[in-house]
Amino acid sequence: MSFDKKVTVAHLSDLHLAGRNDRHQLARLDRMFEEYLSRGYDHLVMTGDLIDTASPADWEILREALERNGLFDWSKTTLVPGNHDLINLEEEMRIYNALNPNKSIRRHRMEARLREFDALFRPLISSDGQGEAGLPFVKVMRFGELSISLVAVNTVAPWSVTDNPVGARGSVSKETLQALLEPQVAGVLDGSFVIGLCHHAYRVYGVDDLIDQAFDWTMEFRNRDDYLRAMKKLGASLVLHGHSHRFQVYQAGGVTFINGGSFRYFPKRYGELVIGADGEWSHRFVNIVT
């Protein structure tokens, strides 16, 4: 296969798969994956809220769908979790009401779920599927002359009755920011076309409609500017994300952010990124015909 010309990436977000009985949606997902295969994309990216239930058994449904379509492979697919993958609101409320646990217990519970997520999707995180590989991670892929790197982080913040009441506020942990800023990371990414992947939106309102621009703090990416600074330091051209279920492209601090919308609510639409060897890139949203 020759990669002399362009590298193509398909971006899908916020699938919100709702279990094995969600047959209609799963059939639409197979249809979408078939479309990717027929169009010959080099890579598929999914930016969180893969499922709707935060139940690890439901992540397996996505894993099976990827396997069925030959996409469960490090070189073919990369994904990050969203709040609906890691936070089970009902469970949080129940435990909160029963035990009133402190903050660190909630953080531990979310981190434990994240480790389960890492374990199930490890073959997409580490090329040999070994070890303790998990988020955050960097994936460097070579396509002939062109090297493309994906910098994937978790932006899901633990639930809190006062601070994160619907579990939809996000942040990048201090540890993650420190890890990204280790000099080795910049070294690994040197000369590569760098794309950041996260779930939460840098901008949570629509860009066109003034009425739509009311700031919604429950959806907020709290330390988005720390994240933006880290991405700029790593030379990222783009960040792909999801969360607010809007298909949009916007700029922040010289980085282009692309929101992949929601497959759950718009199952015929996805983002397509085309990157040339000279670092020139273009993006469009594609509507498939079913």
Contacts of 264-272 spanning 24+ positions with Cβ under 8 A: 264/14, 264/15, 264/16, 264/25, 264/52, 265/14, 267/25, 267/28, 267/32, 270/10, 270/11, 270/12, 270/32, 271/10, 271/11, 271/12, 271/240, 271/247, 272/8, 272/9, 272/10, 272/11, 272/41
> Would you say 80 or 150 has its CB closer to Fe ion?
80
Contacts of 277-281 spanning 24+ positions with Cβ under 8 A: 277/4, 277/5, 277/6, 277/144, 277/145, 277/146, 279/193, 279/237, 281/193, 281/237, 281/238
Q: How far is the CB of 12 from Fe ion (least distance, A)?
A: 12
220 sits near Fe ion (criterion: CB under 5 A) = no
Q: How far is the CB of 201 from Fe ion (least distance, A)?
A: 9
- Return the SS3 of 270: strand
> Would you say 177 or 219 has its CB closer to Fe ion?
219
Q: How far is the CB of 183 from Fe ion (least distance, A)?
A: 32
Note whether 252 and 196 are within 8 A (CB).
Answer: no
Binding residue count for Fe ion, defined by CB under 5 A: 5
> Would you say 87 or 150 has its CB closer to Fe ion?
87
Q: How far is the CB of 205 from Fe ion (least distance, A)?
A: 15
Q: How far is the CB of 215 from Fe ion (least distance, A)?
A: 17
> Would you say 82 or 134 has its CB closer to Fe ion?
82
> Would you say 113 or 243 has its CB closer to Fe ion?
243
Q: Which of 77, 78, 83, 155 binds Fe ion (CB under 5 A)?
A: 83
Please choose, out of 81-89, 122-130, 225-233, 253-261, the segment that lies near Fe ion by the rule CB under 5 A.
81-89
In the region spanning residues 224 to 263, those forming contacts with Fe ion, defined by CB under 5 A, are 243
> Would you say 33 or 263 has its CB closer to Fe ion?
263
> Would you say 76 or 264 has its CB closer to Fe ion?
264
Q: Which of 14, 22, 52, 118 binds Fe ion (CB under 5 A)?
A: 14
Q: Which residue is nearest to Fe ion (CB)?
A: 49
Measured CA distances, 170 to 46, 60, 217, 222, 261 (Å): 17, 24, 10, 6, 17
Q: Which of 82, 158, 261, 271 binds Fe ion (CB under 5 A)?
A: 82
Q: How far is the CB of 78 from Fe ion (least distance, A)?
A: 18
Note whether 48 and 59 are within 8 A (CB).
Answer: no
Q: How far is the CB of 245 from Fe ion (least distance, A)?
A: 6
49 sits near Fe ion (criterion: CB under 5 A) = yes
Please give the Cα distance from 255 to 13 (Å, whole number). 20
Angle between helix axes 56-68 and 23-39 (nearest 10 degrees) is 40
Binding residues (CB under 5 A) for Fe ion: these are 14, 49, 82-83, 243
